[in-house]
Chains A and B, each alone.
Chain A
Amino acid sequence: MRQAPSESETETRKLARQIRLHALRMTSSGGSSHIGAALSCADLLAVLYGRILRVDPLRPKWPDRDRFILSKGHAGCAVYAVLAERGFFPVEKLLTHYQDGSDLSGHVSHKRIPGVEVSTGSLGHGLSIGAGMAYAGKLDGATNRVVVLLSDGECDEGSTWESALFASHHKLDNLVAILDYNKIQSLAPVAETLGLEPFADKWTSFGWALREVDGHDHEALLGALATIPFAAGQPSCLIAHTLKGKGVSFMENTVLWHYRIARGEEYEAALGELEGSK
């Protein structure tokens, strides 16, 4: 039998629920896609920003902060949501998402958004930038960590593997790659598009210390992320097995909800499920 959730888990679960609700409202009111990708990584972001990342909303450029890069920039609404919930900017700003004149673009942007380190949107860029930051951290003897959240689809990009090679060669154990492995990419399942298996073996053979976890189990995520680096002298890779669209039954594990926008009855149904969730 599963143990009762700890206090911290209740806290991060609440945060994850808020991220999901914001993401649904933002994508539906603005008419933007990628709700499936945002729901997929909501638990990862909640655990990171709720318990793991050393960041300070009052000092977004605090030099010793942990760096977080959303390499799968299309889940930008989820990052905006967690930053607003953590107090980096007013929650009301979220409703401008994807609207004319807004700062909140569909793919995550750092311009005028405190707390966003790097703008992304084209896949396969984030891990290189993160590796550069981690290398600088090593040179400076810094104690902070650089966490990069990647999608499975962006592991099709050769540049991802260029940076993976670099990070292990230079023993960047202050660098963490979290793979949001929901196994569905833009048009079809990963396995039918460009198979990544054996995925874990690829990362270990590239010299990364690896752990695999259920990406929606907060206790397990906390347990894994609290042990960074997984091995001294190696970058850490956490493969988080996730469900695309997690939290809304009819969105879960479907290709359709990569791009589809919830409107009318679908929106109400999704909202109802998320509001009723714990």
Chain B
Amino acid sequence: MRDAFVETLTALAEHNAGIMLLTGDLGFGVLNRFAERFPRQYLNVGVAEQNLAGLATGLALEGRIIFTYSIANFPTLRCLEQVRNDVCYHDANVKIVSIGGGFSYGPLGISHHATEDLAILRALPNMTVVAPCDLWEVKEATRALAGTTGPALLRIDKSAAASIVHPGEKFQLGRARQLRDGADIALVAAGGIMEEVLSAADMLAQRGIQCRVLSMATIKPLDVESLVRAVDETGGIVTVEEHTVDGGLGGAVAEILLEMGCIPKCFHRIGLRAGFSSIVGTQKYLRKVYGMDPPAIVAVVEQKLLSRELWLSEYIAR
């Protein structure tokens, strides 16, 4: 995903001298070519994320399109107040790119696990929050963000789902993409964890359960229409995110559906429930440990559908 982002930004920077990439001293071996090719559009500000966000604001207020680049929580939480007061309050054209969403840097420890960023950044006014699930979405989202003014978070993953792109399909910020259709339940996910979701959908299909799969790459603003349709047409929603269950994708979906009076017959948020993910391991391993791998997703869906069946049969009996 990271390479897809840099490749796309390089192509954009070629034609738009206003685009600048600012890194907080990260991107070893990844940003070199960009730096050499566009010395006036590249800046390594050093290990100083507060200054990174402030500089980005100043440059953006002078008309530039700024992409700040760092990993995990550094470009978001480390300088959260600069992001809030400087970037967001001034509606500055700053795109925060965080490489290493969720457990991408699993073995490095909790300092490098980005597991609350979606919830926290989602709360900031003017902020668009995007977590692409595959390489196609990364490229399209990068292009879309470069062409849209205002603050955004682009949360990039180490993993990526296999791209499923329908012929002629166009990516739009704020619009979910239906990766597969199904009438029994809807799986709504954001980020590279979609690879686990698609595997789970395959496993469930073999057991006769057809899942609709939605990539909710834009977590804010949320595509309410596709969610309402999913509830109407499938009855249930399970959200999946490599992130705490508190306030992220699942929280956003629950908030909007409940407020609209659109109540699914079953609903569940799959995500981190253990607080800090202090176990050491790869992204794959941690997904398994924290109940976000395909067997865990399958188990949740089956249990939800089963309880729905029980509820329905009781309801009919009454």
Q: Is B180 an interface residue (CB 8 A)?
A: no
Q: Which residue of B45, B57, B64, B82 is within 8 Å of A159 (Cβ)?
A: B82
B17: nearest chain-A partner, CB-CB? A139
Q: Is A163 an interface residue (CB 8 A)?
A: yes
Tell me if B54 and A159 are in contact (CB < 8 A): yes
Question: What secondary structure prevails in chain A residues at the interface with B?
Answer: helix
Tell me if B48 and A165 are in contact (CB < 8 A): yes
A117: nearest chain-B partner, CB-CB? B61
Bound-state CA distance A215–B131 (Å) is 51
Segment with Cβ contacts to B, from A130-138, A239-247, A265-273: A130-138
Within 8 A of B (CB), among A21-70: none
Indicate with 1 or 0, residue by residue over A85-122, a CB within 8 angstroms of chain B CB atoms. 00000000000000000000000001000000111111
User: How many residues of A are in contact with the other chain, CB < 8 A?
Assistant: 28
Tell me if A119 and B85 are in contact (CB < 8 A): yes
B84: nearest chain-A partner, CB-CB? A122
Minimum CB–CB distance from B74 to chain A (whole Å) comes to: 13
Q: Is B3 an interface residue (CB 8 A)?
A: no
Q: Is B265 an interface residue (CB 8 A)?
A: no
B50: nearest chain-A partner, CB-CB? A159
Minimum CB–CB distance from B225 to chain A (whole Å) comes to: 32
Q: Is A124 an interface residue (CB 8 A)?
A: yes
Contacts of B90 in A (CB 8 A): 110, 118-119
Contacts of B45 in A (CB 8 A): 166
A128-B57, A159-B51 are known; give 18 further A-B pairs, CB within 8 A: A110-B90, A118-B57, A118-B61, A118-B86, A119-B90, A122-B81, A125-B54, A128-B51, A128-B53, A128-B86, A129-B54, A129-B57, A132-B61, A133-B61, A133-B62, A162-B51, A163-B54, A165-B48
A-B contacts, 15 listed (Cβ < 8 Å)? A118-B61, A124-B50, A125-B54, A125-B85, A125-B86, A131-B51, A132-B55, A132-B57, A132-B58, A132-B61, A135-B55, A135-B59, A139-B40, A159-B51, A163-B51
Chain B positions within 8 Å of A, measured between CB atoms, are 40, 43, 45-46, 48, 50-51, 53-64, 81-82, 85-86, 89-90
